[in-house]
Amino acid sequence: MKNKIFMYKTKHAEIRQQQRGIKNETVDLLLQYGKRKYKSNGTAVLCFPRKVQIQLEQEHKDIKNLKNAYALITTNENRIITVGHRYKNSLTH
């Protein structure tokens, strides 16, 4: 198990998390196991690597759409900008 990472959630992220039914546990797992895909504007997308998705889904069967969860974070301020579920690969390209 990796060290726990702490990030501040923006108000926007809190609202989107509630609207999209994403549990705090999912966000915590993203911060622990998520792979960062850096963007050119000082942000990064956190999503689960395929190797980890299967293991996490088996361990956390009560969380829906766990493998599709993502978080958009700032790379320099430790802030979560928004969270959601990926339905396309567009976020990762």
CA gyration radius for the chain? 12
Are the C-beta atoms of residues 71 and 82 closer than 8 Å to each other? Answer: yes
pLDDT tens profile 27-86:
999 999 999 999 989 999 999 998 888 888 889 888 877 888 999 999 888 899 999 998
Question: Model pTM?
Answer: 0.83
- Average pLDDT of the segment spanning 5-14: 88
Report the pLDDT value the prediction gives residue 3, as an integer from 0 to 100. 58
Q: What mean pLDDT is predicted for residues 16-33?
A: 93
